[in-house]
């Protein structure tokens, strides 16, 4: 996992990413990954994270629920609650997760 993180951090150029943060700067990454301050983060990944992942899983399931094949009037409880919505371009179409807005 540690190697994967460092590898990914050094690939901003390859993926054509706009370099916005220090983690995309090769010089910064290499200078900062090998000292006492950095130690511990990668090994801490051995610690359990299942509660955090459970929370994320529950969120994803909630987001996916409205994607069940229904007419456009199936509005989940937590969705955009504008009454007369002029939003034809609303992202709340059948499958919100398919909209890649990254």
Partner 1 sequence: MNAAQPLSQPLVDLDTPLLKVNGLTRLYGPDKGCQAVDFELHPGEVLGIVGESGSGKSTLLGLLSGRCVPDRGAVAYRARGGAWVDLYAASEAERRTLLRTEWGFVEQNPRDGLRMGVSAGANIGERLMAQGDRHYGRLRQAGLDWLRQVEIDPARIDDRPTTFSGGMQQRLQIARNLVSGPRLVFMDEPTGGLDVSVQARLLDLLRGLVRELNLAVVIVTHDLAVARLLADRLMVMRRSRVVETGLTDQVLDDPQHAYTQLLVSSVLQP
Partner 2 sequence: MTASPTTFDAPGYNFAYLDEQTKRMIRRALLKAVAIPGYQVPFGGREMPLPYGWGTGGMQLTAAILGTDDVLKVIDQGADDTTNAVSIRRFFARTAGVATTTRTPEATVIQTRHRIPETALSNDQILVFQVPIPEPLRFIEPSESETRTMHALGDYGVMHVKLYEDIATFGHIATAYAYPVSVDGRYVMDPSPIPKFDNPKLDMNPALMLFGAGREKRLYAVPPYTRVESLDFEDHPFAVQAWDEHCAVCGSRDSFLDELIVDDAGGKRFVCSDTDYCTQRLSEQETGR
Residue 66 binds partner 2, judged by CB under 8 A: yes
Note whether 32 and 51 are within 8 A (CB).
Answer: no
> Please, which residue, 60 or 87, has the CB nearer to partner 1?
87
Is position 98 an interface residue for partner 1 (rule: CB under 8 A)? no
Sequence-ordered list of residues with C-beta below 8 angstroms from that of 28, at least 6 positions apart, any chain? 22
Distance between CA 65 and CA 67 in Å, rounded? 5
Contact positions vs partner 2 (CB under 8 A): 21-22, 37, 39-41, 43-44, 47-52, 54-59, 62-63, 66, 76, 78-81, 91-92, 96-97, 99, 101
């Amino acid at each position: 996992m540690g190697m994967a993180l460092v590898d990914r951090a050094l690939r901003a150029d390859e993926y054509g990413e706009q370099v916005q943060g220090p983690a995309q700067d090769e010089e910064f990454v290499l200078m900062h990954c090998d000292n006492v301050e950095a130690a511990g983060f990668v090994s801490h990944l051995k610690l359990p994270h299942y509660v955090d992942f459970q929370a994320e899983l529950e969120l994803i399931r909630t987001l996916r629920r409205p994607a069940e094949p229904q007419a456009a009037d199936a509005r989940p409880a937590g969705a955009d609650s504008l009454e007369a919505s002029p939003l034809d371009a609303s992202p709340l179409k059948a499958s919100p997760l398919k909209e890649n807005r990254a």
